[in-house]
Structure 1
Amino acid sequence: MTETPSETTAPQDDARHAEKMAKKKAARDKIMAAKSGEKGLIIVNTGKGKGKSTAGFGMIFRHIAHKMPCAVIQFIKGAWATGERDLIEAHFSDICEFHTMGEGFTWETQDRARDVAHAQRAWAKAKELISSGEKSMVLLDEINIAIRYDYIDIAEVVEFLTNEKPPMCHVVLTGRNAKDELIEIADLVTEMELIKHPFRSGIKGQQGVEF
């Protein structure tokens, strides 16, 4: 019986693939062998795309799964329910503190003085939790919005994170328009790029997706 081209070339393709992957693994192992350090990271999730807070909560849930103490402070979101908060407060409050400090987006409150006061209280709580040295990770959800509107001084945030954050505490800062000064001191910066969003097609925010 005559072999088809695919039958004769498949073993050769498999061998080439195996050789290529072996070389890639060797190169990767060499790189990883040189990476032995650990430190508490400053992590910034910013950009116009969806997923900034979601990514931050993903790391919080990893901490919870590893039984590592952590905390969440929401700078903007108000009293409305979110899936993350409901789940954490109902089942994981022993390992993850959750503080909702805002009253909603600025166009809803329409009271700058009140917004500033809430943001300042949230920042004070953030510094308290980070400085304690008891938390492995603290998520500062939408703090970038509070900084953008000058509710919190970016210079103070940079100074605190640079000089007062415990060495092994990870701090995650989310929200659009992260300041250049914050990006400069961060260890990990991700910009979410918006390509398509259902809101532009008349679809409202939906449970399980946005909250």
Structure 2
Amino acid sequence: MLIIYTGNGKGKTSACVGQAIRAYGHGFKVAFAQFMKRSVDAGEQMFLKELLKDNFIAGGMGFFYTNKKISQDTKNKHHDAAKDVLNWAKQHLETINMLILDEAIYALGANLISKAELEEIIELCTAKQVHLVLSGRNTPDWLIEKADLVSSIEELKHPYQKGIKAQQGIEF
């Protein structure tokens, strides 16, 4: 099954973590990768590292802002990190029932991974009967059509609109 959590609201990663816990509770072997987040011990990272051990990776270099001018060297580092996450995911496909690629759609939109690379991982998961969960904003139509389940998380209100900074245990 291909599952997507998308939309502009907060909670896509939380939905991925919830899906991982549900599957793990039913005996699934779960691998969970984060594309954009560095391993900086965000709350979910500490939990997932403890639960999944070597089946968890936060392989990103931090958020990649496509609307800001950044050096080619920085772009290359983000691109290489995304490729490393994809390779890590492929290496785990033989031993798992569910693969969660948090922020993969964001990486796709930022051109850190290609449509062909994402289609390849979808095909590999289908062939190996591994459930695949993807998250990120601005999911392209072709991916929505391919998915079995798509949930859109929309923001109605957020504390940053009042100038409240990100809170530990809430946003990270």
Structure 2 partner of 1:101: 59
Say which structure, 1 or 2, has more relative contact order (CA 8 Å, 6+ apart): 2
Please tell me whether the aligned partners of residues 125 and 132 of structure 2 are also in contact (alpha carbons under 8 angstroms): no
For 2:58, the aligned partner's letter is T
Contact 2:30–2:52 (Cα < 8 Å) also in 1: no
Identity score, percent: 36
- Partner of 1:106, secondary structure, is coil
- Please state whether the residue corresponding to 2:134 is helix, strand or coil: strand
The Cα offsets for residues 56-83 of structure 1, whole Å up to 9 and x where unpaired, read as 1101011222232101101000122122
The residue aligned with 1:180 is: 141
**Residues 5-44 of structure 1: matches in 2 within 5 Å?**
41-44=1-4
TM-score normalized by structure 2? 0.88
Tell me if the contact between 2:64 and 2:110 (Cα under 8 Å) persists in the aligned partners: no
Gaps of 5+ in 2: none
Name the structure 2 match of 1:191.
152
Alignment check: 8 A CA contact 1:142 1:174 kept: yes
RMSD: 2.0
Q: TM-score, normalised by structure 1?
A: 0.73
1:170 positional shift: 0.9
Residue identity in the other structure for 2:140: K
Q: Note the C-alpha offset of 1:52.
A: 0.8
- Of 77, 80, 83, the match for 1:117: 80
Distance 1:179 1:209 in 2: 28
Which one has a bigger Cα radius of gyration? 1
- Distance between the aligned counterparts of 2:120 and 2:85, measured in 1? 17
Q: 1:163 to 1:81 in 2, by over 3 A?
A: closer
Question: Are the aligned partners of 1:136 and 1:169 in contact in 2 as well (CA < 8 Å)?
Answer: yes
